[in-house]
Amino acid sequence: MRELNRWRRFGVVLMVLGTALATSGYIGPGAGAGAIVVLLAVALGVLLLFVGVFWYPIKRMVRSRRGKAPAVEDAGR
């Protein structure tokens, strides 16, 4: 049974490598730049998601422990 699994893994690796070599192609400068911009936008979106989910509740908790902040200062943030 182990020998069969080893050969299956080897076959899967060969298929993946074979398709990767067959599908490699040219990406033009416009498509490459667009792909980089999309990756950066997704990374920034994930970062802002974490900021919104974790930072603001922690900030609110710290402010409530220190004391009530003035309403004018709190409205701008």
CA-to-CA distance for 76 and 22, rounded, in angstroms?
56
The domain limits of the chain are 45-77
CA 75 to chain centre: 31
Work out the number of other CB atoms within 10 angstroms of the CB of residue 63. Answer: 13
Work out the number of other CB atoms within 10 angstroms of the CB of residue 35. Answer: 11
In tens digits, what is the pLDDT along the chain, a chain of 77 residues?
Answer: 567 688 888 888 888 777 765 556 677 889 889 999 999 999 999 999 988 888 888 888 888 888 765 555 555 55
Residue found by looking up tokens 């299956």 in the block: 8
